[in-house]
Structure 1
Amino acid sequence: MKTLEHFVEQQLSNGRFSFSTTMLKDVFDKSDKALKQSLYRLKAKGKIAHVRSGFYMIIPPEYSQFGMIPPDLFIDDLMKCLGKKYYVGLFSSASLQGASHQAVMQYYVITNHPPLRSVNNAKMVINFYSKKEWQRELILQRKTDAGYINISCPELTTFDLLNYGNFSLNRIATILEELYEFYNAKRLKLSVKQASTASIQRLGYLLDQVVVDNVYSEVLQQELTQRRLFPVLLSKRSSHQGKADKSWNVIINTDIESDL
């Protein structure tokens, strides 16, 4: 191995789009200062880009005009480098499963605790959320040009959308319409066990509103009979009150309009 540039080219030829500084120290007998200088030169040439401390993406010619590559190509390697369990979730997972009406300008990843600091620079944004645990059966494998990545199943994706952040309900409703055809009763029964009560109530209401011939309400209602229910606002973005939906104990404080 003569140069760092040759190492990068070899990584690409092996279908790898990233590397860590730990890998470099195993390959090259160079000082930290010499490695930093080599990394700086390759960054200046636009052949690599820094993702986070000790981790770099490799930019092949077809992506040189963008100055980055899709996170799908390096996220699995990054999580292994950090020693984190993970899955690609929320809008990113929805897009990978066919929710094509939603343009994903940011990338969303769920990891085990403790949470990671998000990556936010001029080229990309990777949002990290965390949770204590999840059922392995709710994670799907999706093939990329760099191998396989973990993504949340449709059921877990919609629960996470309702649980994390403060996202637009209209956007979530659109995704729900697109992912509903891929719903599976067994996975829904598993995911509902770990879902918050409020997210179950909201999902039940949304399913009734946007899905014709919804067949999964009973699964959600059965779980809710085992929990203590309180009225919950449909939209977390507004504190306004509205009429109550008795089926789900949801206060309707916004109108739902799917983009489809």
Structure 2
Amino acid sequence: MTSLDQFVDNRLLHGRAHFNRDEALAAVNLNPDGLTAAITRLVKKQRLANPRHGFYLILRPEDQMTGAPDPVRWIDPLMKYQGLDYRISLLRAAAFHGSSHQAAMVFQVVVPKQLRDFEIGRHRLQFLYQTSKAFAKLNQPDWLDRIKSDAGFAQVAGVELTLLDCARYFHKAAGINGVAQIAKDIGAKAEPRALAKAAAAYENSSVRRLGYLLERAGHTRQANALEPFVKKAKTAVPLDPSVKPLIESLSELHEKNARWKLVINEPVEIDF
């Protein structure tokens, strides 16, 4: 039987910079209390980090400055440990697909379960809930890509899901203007029919907002693919529902966009 230090070194030697408590208990010559003490010692020495109960990251010297490796290197094994499917989305996915404006300060993951956000070292992980029914429809290979790292692969939303997720969770994607910029940067890469098919699993108002922003960005084919969703809308909604007028009567002065049944209550600024 080996010590925890030897176990950790051996995992790194085989390219696995993570482990769970059960794996360690099976491999080391320690009882549960002894293992807890040994793990605590290595956490204090910055050899281990603990993003979730029972799951540990092995820190290389270069990771110790940031307190943990880039989450793309360990999000896949973490989610498998928790028994959950997932996709990296929003700002990190937009940057992956070529939105150079997105300097993602937060690592955002869409999951079919309510999970608590957390910080580890300099990294902040944010979990966005999507209903299990919609998630099961969307989290399919045809709509996902993979980010490669030295630790393997992680699932990331394809262009279509990235755009739709950003429109749905716009308040987590740098607001309406942030989504507008993402639509400008990567909208042309979306396949119109795939975009429309995926959009059927999203709230109608989110789809209409995305259609409007794609049109503003000059991506006519992609915007046109979403236009049929307007027929299902009964009333116009604000482009940015988070913006509340100081005087309610002034809301009547906002421009109405009939094509998308939106009240343009926030100016949209895009860098071309």
- Normalising by the smaller structure, the TM-score range is over 0.9
1:243 aligns with 2:249: no
Q: Deviations over 1:65-119 (max 9, x none)?
A: 222111001000000000001111111211222222211111111112x311111
TM-score (structure 1 length as normaliser): 0.92
Q: Deviations over 1:148-205 (max 9, x none)?
A: 1111111111211121262411111111111123211232122111121101110111
Alignment length (residue pairs): 257
Change over 3 Å in CA distance of 1:14–1:187 after alignment to 2: farther
Fraction of identical pairs, as percent: 27
Q: How does 1:87-236 map to 2 (within 5 A)?
A: 87-112=87-112, 114-121=113-120, 123-131=122-130, 132=132, 133=135, 134-135=137-138, 136=140, 137-164=142-169, 166-167=171-172, 168-211=175-218, 214-225=220-231, 227-236=232-241
Opposite residue 56 of structure 2, the aligned amino acid is: Y
Q: 8 Å contact 1:107–1:126 — kept in the other structure? A: yes
Opposite residue 219 of structure 1, the aligned amino acid is: A
Opposite residue 215 of structure 1, the aligned amino acid is: R
- Give, in whole Å, the separation in 2 of the partners of 1:165 and 1:206: 12
Q: 8 Å contact 1:170–1:259 — kept in the other structure? A: no
- Give, in whole Å, the separation in 1 of the partners of 2:27 and 2:197: 44
Aligned-pair CA distance for 1:138: 1.4
Q: 8 Å contact 1:233–1:239 — kept in the other structure? A: no
Q: 8 Å contact 2:170–2:176 — kept in the other structure? A: no
Change over 3 Å in CA distance of 1:83–1:120 after alignment to 2: same
Structure 1 residue aligned with 2:248? none
SS at match of 1:237: coil
- Give, in whole Å, the separation in 2 of the partners of 1:222 and 1:94: 25
SS at match of 1:34: helix
SS at match of 1:26: helix
- Which is helix-richer, 1 or 2? 2
Q: 8 Å contact 2:110–2:128 — kept in the other structure? A: yes
- Give, in whole Å, the separation in 2 of the partners of 1:2 and 1:30: 9
- Give, in whole Å, the separation in 1 of the partners of 2:146 and 2:120: 28
TM-score (structure 2 length as normaliser): 0.88
Structure 2 residue aligned with 1:77? 77
Structure 2 residue aligned with 1:27? 27
- Give, in whole Å, the separation in 2 of the partners of 1:201 and 1:180: 15
Q: Deviations over 1:202-247 (max 9, x none)?
A: 0111111122x5212221112333x233201001220233110111
Aligned-pair CA distance for 1:121: 5.0
- Give, in whole Å, the separation in 2 of the partners of 1:245 and 1:111: 33
Structure 2's unaligned 5+ residue stretches are 246-250
Structure 1's unaligned 5+ residue stretches are none
SS at match of 2:220: coil
Aligned-pair CA distance for 1:2: 2.2
Runs of 4+ in 1 over 4 A off after TM superposition: none
Of residues 122-131 and 199-208 in structure 1, the stretch that sits farther from structure 2 once superposed is: 122-131
- Give, in whole Å, the separation in 2 of the partners of 1:70 and 1:26: 28
Structure 2 residue aligned with 1:254? 266
- Give, in whole Å, the separation in 2 of the partners of 1:98 and 1:10: 37
- Give, in whole Å, the separation in 2 of the partners of 1:120 and 1:41: 21
